[in-house]
Structure 1
Amino acid sequence: MNHAPSISIVLPAKNESKNLPSFLPMLHLLYPDAEILLINDGSTDNTAAIARAAGVTVIDHPYSMGNGAAIKTGARHAKNDILVFMDADGQHDPGDIPALLSKLNDGYDMVVGARNSGSHASLFRRVANKFYNKLASLMTGHKIEDLTSGFRAAKASKFRKFLYLLPNGFSYPTTSTMAFFRSGFPVAYVPIHAGKRRGKSHIRLMHDGFRFFIIILRIGVLFSPMRLFLPISSIVFSLGAGYYGYTYFTENRFTNMSAVLFLSSLFIFLIGIVSEQISSLHYKNIE
């Protein structure tokens, strides 16, 4: 058996009554000394009752506040130095926790369980996840193997520094990963296989896929704004120069549209500089 007395396992849960009866006893069996916190995010079934009957500490939200809000609640209430975040739907294998903790002991501040391609239920999810990983890697300058994985272990003292940045929805993995990279806290990945959940997922594929994309851009701006604004400024400037060249050789004149594109490029560049300075303020007291 793998004893982990120094960890707190945080389980955000909403209407997971079908999955908890088999999942919670497994956690207790493998980690009898670990603190297990189930954050009941406004469930309308008997999720909370099942968890309490299994001897798990339950913290209730009065209504559904979102996966990220549940993560923040769990992080605030956890008593131990290491936080392990898992889904309560049975997708994550408790047997993978030692691999995360072992990597954490190598000097990393956060370790993420990177799902293999077979873990995604559809081709769309595989393609989307690969796209998000590539885009986020470009934004941060670090290789990100699984941006949206909710299975991760982190040092509590470091993770709590970014609670004010975490959104209440499903994108806390995105935000926390980029915040750790931005602050110079080392992040590692270990390969895992995530199983398929029983019951209906709370993520709406198209809606939340678009939200993830917007969140990447938003956190990219927070992480390093010039990585976003400089390419856009360059593209707009190139369009202005190209259009000016076209009108000069065809009409022998400088058009208002070229002037607008040049000015827009300058404004975007200046906004990027200001955003870069504002971004640095979020991390000035991070140690």
Structure 2
Amino acid sequence: MISVVVPLYNEEDSLVELSVALKKVLDNLRCSWEVLFIDDGSTDTSYQKLQEIHKVNSKFKCLKFKRNYGKSSALQEGFKAAKGDYVITMDADLQDDPEEIPALIAKLNEGFDLVSGWKKVRHDPFIKKHTSKLFNGVTSMMVGLKLHDYNCGLKAYVRDVVKNVKVYGEMHRYIPALAHLSGFRVTEMAVTHHERKYGKTKYGLSRFFNGLFDLITVLFTTKYIKRPLHLFGFIGVMSFMAGTGILIYLTILKFFESTPISGRPLFFVGILMAIVGVQFFSIGLIGEMITKTSVENDNVIIDKTLGLGS
């Protein structure tokens, strides 16, 4: 079975056209399928459009949030509801092409766990295009997984990935990184990217800087969330040892050369580093205790459902 998860926010103009294109492609695959529209608190008539689509074909289902929670929460709820062995994600603005789905699935059949789309020829504003290039380069370097387009909405996953990789906050753009750091096989494939047909992009320059902070969070949460003492403890021990070494050096000077040390700047540096070292080590210990209680995803409130039960 194939599940297609489509997060959306105020995309009333594109939904009918998208559903027609999806049905055409999915029917040709000759397997069972479902499409899960995740309405992230739209304020236009998106949900009414989805109701009409569902009445015509019950394979098109929907979750509607009470308010706007963000794309990560929309994807996470879609992943939880998906029943397919393969899961496809795509945006609802018609810039992602449903015709790419068979090729993405074929790539999964080669043994990969996640196939990320690469908008090789992009139809985006100048700022988005070039900040995205910088963002992808930095991410590839820090994560150790070279991808040209981490944030492409068109991706294909095996079931194990969507059921085990948790996204929250604004982490949706880092799903390939999270999967890679969790041991899954990740690759990319060039896909067609169309110009936006309706509405306008929701991208802002601030999202680029937010993305860099999120990257640091990803690296920390994947490598140290279960062992914070390894990070903070290491920093703390190094700082404490450096501070102690400075104080020992000054003490030796005092006893063997009768050099006063209390007024020297190095004396205060040594004390400061020793104190900071103890504080960092303490933070690591506190972090170890905090990890005993799991951090849950955002508790979204589902407003309405179509074809997914109560």
Instruction: Give your verdict on TM over 0.5.
Output: yes
1:112-127 equivalence runs, <5 A? 112-116=116-120, 118-127=121-130
State the alpha-carbon separation in 1 of the partners of residues 103 and 161 from structure 2.
Answer: 20
Q: Report runs of 4+ in structure 1 exceeding 4 Å deviation.
A: 257-276
**Structure 1 position 193, deviation (Å):** 3.0
Q: Which amino acid is 1:177 matched to?
A: P
1:51 is aligned to 50
Q: For 2:106 and 2:156, how far apart are their aligned partners in 1? A: 10
Q: 1:74 aligns with which of 55, 78, 81?
A: 78
In the TM superposition, what are the counterparts of 1:83-122 in structure 2 within 5 Å?
83-116=87-120, 118-122=121-125
Match of 1:148 in 2: 151
* 2:133 pairs with one of 110, 130, 133: 130
- Tell me the TM-score normalized by structure 2: 0.70
Maintained 8 Å contact 1:7/1:34: yes
Pair 1:99–1:263, CA change in 2 (3 A)? farther
Answer yes or no: is the 8 Å Cα contact 1:82–1:156 preserved in 2: yes
Please name the residue that 1:42 is paired with. Answer: 41
Secondary structure in 1 matching 2:207: helix
Greater radius of gyration (CA): 2
Could you say which structure has the greater relative contact order, defined with CA pairs below 8 angstroms and 6 or more residues apart? 2
Aligned residues of 1:139 and 1:224 also touching (Cα < 8 A): no
- Structure-2 separation of matches of 1:274 and 1:145: 38
Q: Tell me what 1:167 maps to.
A: 168
2: distance between equivalents of 1:121 and 1:90? 13
SS in 2 for 1:63: coil
Distance 2:16 2:42 in 1: 16
**How many residue pairs align between the two structures?**
258
Q: Is the 8 A contact 2:76 2:168 kept in 1?
A: no
Identity %: 25
Given that 2:86 and 2:156 are in contact with CA atoms closer than 8 Å, whether structure 1 keeps it comes out as: yes
What TM-score results when the alignment is normalised by the length of structure 1? 0.75
Gaps of 5+ in 2: 247-263, 295-310
Q: Which letter does structure 2 place at the counterpart of 1:161?
A: N
Residue in 1 aligned with 2:14? 19
For structure 1, which segment, 190-199 or 256-265, has the greater mean C-alpha deviation from structure 2 after superposition? 256-265
CA-based RMSD: 3.5
CA distance in 1, matches of 2:142, 2:284: 14
Contact 1:7–1:83, Cα closer than 8 Å, also in 2:
yes
1:3 is matched with none
Q: Residues 204-223 of structure 1: matches in 2 within 5 Å?
A: 205-223=204-222
- CA positional deviation for 1:206: 2.2
TM-superposed CA distance for 1:59, in Å, is 1.7
Which residue identity is paired with 2:125?
A: S
